[in-house]
Amino acid sequence: MRSYLIESGAIAELRACIAGVTSYDFAVYDARGRLLLPSLSGDPIVESFASSDKGKEEQENFFLHAVQTAAHRKGPSLLKGPMNQHHAFIPVTTEDDGMVLAGNAFYASIKDLEDFLSSKGGCYRLSIKDMAHWRRKITPADPAQVSAVCEHAHRLLGLIAGNMREKTVYRERSLKTSAALELFSGIDKGMSKEQLYSVLCDAMIFLFNGDTASVMVRVDDHYLPALTAGNRKTEVGQVPLRHDASMISSAIDGSMAGICNESAALVRLGYPEQVTSLYLFPLATSGEQLGLLGVFNSPLSEDDCGIITKICGFAAFLLRTIHSQKVLDSHISTLTSLNHALNTQQAFQDPDTVYDSIVEVSSRLMDAEKASLMLPEAENQELLIGAVRGINKQIARSIRVRIGEGVAGKVYRDGEPLVVRDIETSLSCAKKPSYKTRSFVSIPLKIGDEAIGVLNLADKISGEVFSEEDMTFLRYFASYASIAIKSSQFYRQTEELKTLSITDPLTRSYNRRYFNDRLAEELERGSRYDYVFSLAIFDLDDFKLFNDSEGHLAGDEALRTVADIAKESLRSIDIVSRFGGEEFSVIMPQTDRKEAYQVMERLRKNIRDLMPAKWKLFPRERITVSAGLASFPADGRDANTLIRNVDRALYRAKLTGKDKTVVWEAFNPPPVLP
């Protein structure tokens, strides 16, 4: 079974976010109670109380039972431990696996602590002095508040786990289909049926961990193995199957896998007892049955079966056309193009690149002059143009088709492709599409029952009409195109969430969390490679007065404008973040004091000169900022020291008149107010 559980790195990142925002810390366990990630900070109370053998045993037993219980619950829970403390447990579950986030312990009241100390203090080897110490150290927490945090964290974890699962599923599908196409791309003009059978069996063994694979063709009343590969090829390769066996009828009639996992049934078919399972896939195209593909002793998932079914359909298509040199050459070229398109790393990241690639490749596959990809806009129940070829892009952007209306709208709604050989005779609608030729094709892009979009192709360069053979090949292409579109959309959503997590929503600059991460990186880089870098903090002068006189909405607008001017004034290597309130920080990599001072002076002057004077009551002619500046390593070798010295320099700037940049000097501390 696959595990689509959320990655441990994502869990660790989310846990750090929760700890940073709420001060609640969590350890991570698997569903069986094994520790995967320890908490960010230790739990001194538990560590102290559980130092005795009895305390350690009770705590371990409690946690093992609590984690295993929480893993089967639908939501977070608060459980009371052996030390009268509360522990929060948040389950993260997927189809076949799970994790549990276990929060550090807390007391709901001093009485809970006192009850524990009076009843078990002696058993836990706690002295009177220890008891008095912990009574002073304990700060009770509100269980309702902790529960609320856990509920929000549980919802967020569920969203991320679901997103990661879908992304993994589509990624696996894309990789397997792409690898399968790569195998088929090696087909040359002289390939025989036997060589194609060998490629098909190799794909089953190497891509789907198959034990044994066999291609069977019908001869009279039996399907005989034409080529068999794998561990059991000798036993399997000698067994004929009657064409009227129920398993074969199920596979052929349903155009999907026939499955047999019963030993007795396999023996009746003629297989030895070493064969424990059989999946049969039809090799059929355009209603023509060309053979069967058997995969033995290999547990396949539903997704695997779906992909193999498509591969078998594609293989059957090649078998039917392998005798024709011209058709074979055409398909080799198209397979190579499709494989290249699906293997392009950028295509799985940037949706616009995916859309353009789908239109470009599909038009080349079909020798069509015009192609368009239409995608749904859920808010207005309309289809919009995502990419075009052979059509004016400016005009295409204005095209909107209501879902259920027109050719594309109906194809999207019904999920059924449409091949038109003659527009005049085939379409009954009043408004017919305008093309050079009278033939076009419109095919839905789907994943399962979910509609992704519509691909339209028209005007074959040769002037020929679109055939059923074209449609067969386009169906396979549509499956791969749908996966590529979905993968790229998930990637964009992931990147947008990542950007939101490091961006201050008001000023659109980086937030404090991102600043902390980048400062840590610069400190490590500076220490390792002996680099110099500078750090500055600036804030708006008299900002409280501005807020009081102009209002908080005007204050927010001022902060946004200051942030925009700052970003325009800084170099591309500099990082500006909102530090807090009206304060902003600037990290200047590989920049010494002198150069950093010039950078900050330019920023300060630009803010003073470029800020639009929109205020009415603020008693200042201009909005100005003051800045403090310090450099690594001269003014500090760690984050706390460096930030403290920058703050002192900023403090001096404020005391000595504002609207200036002050560089920290250890021998010249800031004056003290009387």
The CATH number linked to 469 is 3.30.450.40
Of 454-458, 468-472, 592-596, give the lowest mean pLDDT range: 468-472
Residue 197: CB atoms within 10 A of its CB come to 25
Per-residue pLDDT of 406-436, as tens digits, reads 888 888 888 888 888 766 555 555 455 656 6
Does residue 285 sit within a domain? yes
User: What pLDDT does 434 receive?
Assistant: 59
For residues 60 and 85, state if they share a domain.
yes
Burial class (CB in 10 A: 0-12, 13-18, 19+), 91: buried
User: What pLDDT does 543 receive?
Assistant: 93
What is the secondary structure of 278-319 as a DSSP string?
A: EEEEEEEETTEEEEEEEEES----HHHHHHHHHHHHHHHHHH
Specify the CATH number for the domain of residue 615: 3.30.70.270
Degrees (nearest 5) of the Cα angle 218, 223, 225? Answer: 105
User: What pLDDT does 173 receive?
Assistant: 64
Does residue 182 sit within a domain? no
For residues 306 and 411, state if they share a domain.
no
Q: Would you state the structure tokens that stand for residue 168, as one six-digit string?
A: 């993994």
What pLDDT band is residue 328 in, cutting at 50, 70 and 90? very low
Specify the CATH number for the domain of residue 89: 3.30.450
Identify residue 144 by its one-letter amino acid code. Answer: A
Does residue 25 sit within a domain? yes
Among 274, 298, 321, the domain-final residue is 321
Asked whether residue 31 carries a pLDDT value surpassing 50, the answer given is yes
Backbone angles phi, psi at 347, to 5 degrees: -65, -25
Residue 219: CB atoms within 10 A of its CB come to 11
Does residue 2 sit within a domain? no
Residue 33 is classified by DSSP as S
Does residue 43 sit within a domain? yes
Range 447-486 burial, b when 16+ CB lie within 10 A, else e:
beeebbbbbbbbbbeeeebbeeebbbbbbbbbbbbbbbbb
For residues 45 and 131, state if they share a domain.
yes
Give the span between the Cα atoms of 35 and 33, in whole angstroms. Answer: 6
User: Average pLDDT over the chain, rounded to whole?
Assistant: 82
For residues 312 and 335, state if they share a domain.
no
For residues 520 and 658, state if they share a domain.
yes
For residues 276 and 405, state if they share a domain.
no
For residues 306 and 436, state if they share a domain.
no
For residues 378 and 459, state if they share a domain.
yes
Residue 171: CB atoms within 10 A of its CB come to 15
Q: How many domains does the chain have?
A: 4
Question: How many CA within 13 A on the CB side of residue 123?
Answer: 12
Q: Is the pTM of this model over 0.95?
A: no
Q: Would you state the structure tokens that stand for residue 463, as one six-digit string?
A: 């002037």
**Domain interval for residue 197:** 192-321
Degrees (nearest 5) of the Cα angle 55, 56, 59? Answer: 80
Question: How many CA within 13 A on the CB side of residue 198?
Answer: 7
CA distances (Å), 77 to each of 100, 109, 110, 181, in order? 11, 18, 22, 48
CA distances (Å), 467 to each of 234, 420, 435, 441, 494, in order? 42, 9, 17, 9, 40
Of 315-324, 426-435, 516-525, give the lowest mean pLDDT range: 426-435
Among 168, 184, 216, the domain-final residue is 168
208 or 293, higher pLDDT:
293
Estimate the crossing angle of helix 351-366 against helix 325-343, to 10 degrees.
Answer: 180
What is the secondary structure of 547-575 as a DSSP string?
A: HHHH-HHHHHHHHHHHHHHHHHHS-TT-E
% pLDDT > 70, the chain: 84
What pLDDT band is residue 655 in, cutting at 50, 70 and 90? very high
Helices (H), ranges, 552-638:
552-569, 593-610
Per-residue pLDDT of 117-155, as tens digits, reads 888 777 777 777 777 777 777 788 888 888 888 888 888
Asked whether residue 295 carries a pLDDT value surpassing 60, the answer given is yes
Give the span between the Cα atoms of 42 and 25, in whole angstroms. Answer: 9
Per-residue pLDDT of 345-392, as tens digits, reads 444 467 888 888 888 888 887 888 888 888 888 666 888 888 888 887
User: What pLDDT does 345 receive?
Assistant: 44
For residues 610 and 642, state if they share a domain.
yes
CA distances (Å), 164 to each of 3, 9, 446, in order? 11, 12, 20
Answer whether 417's CB lies under 8 Å from 411's CB. Answer: yes
Give the span between the Cα atoms of 353 and 61, in whole angstroms. Answer: 54
What pLDDT band is residue 583 in, cutting at 50, 70 and 90? very high
For residues 20 and 46, state if they share a domain.
yes
Asked whether residue 236 carries a pLDDT value surpassing 80, the answer given is yes
Residue 145 is classified by DSSP as H
437 or 342, higher pLDDT:
437
The residues, any chain, with a CB within 8 Å of residue 119's CB and separated by 6 or more, are none
Q: Which of 83-87, 98-102, 161-165, 656-660 has the highest mean pLDDT?
A: 656-660
Does residue 96 sit within a domain? yes
Q: Would you state the structure tokens that stand for residue 608, as one six-digit string?
A: 């003073």
Among 321, 338, 362, the domain-final residue is 321
For residues 412 and 386, state if they share a domain.
yes
What pLDDT band is residue 225 in, cutting at 50, 70 and 90? very high
Does residue 3 sit within a domain? no
Per-residue pLDDT of 240-260, as tens digits, reads 988 888 888 777 776 567 888
Per-residue pLDDT of 536-574, as tens digits, reads 999 999 999 999 999 999 999 999 999 999 999 999 999
Asked whether residue 180 carries a pLDDT value surpassing 70, the answer given is no
Beta strands 35-37 and 212-219 are: unpaired
Of 58-72, 155-169, 444-458, 470-484, give the lowest mean pLDDT range: 155-169
Residue 627: CB atoms within 10 A of its CB come to 25
Asked whether residue 10 carries a pLDDT value surpassing 50, the answer given is yes
For residues 197 and 297, state if they share a domain.
yes
User: What pLDDT does 167 receive?
Assistant: 67
What is the secondary structure of 168-226 as a DSSP string?
A: HHHHHHHHHHHHHHHHHTT--TT--HHHHHHHHHHHHHHHS--SEEEEEEEETTEEEEE
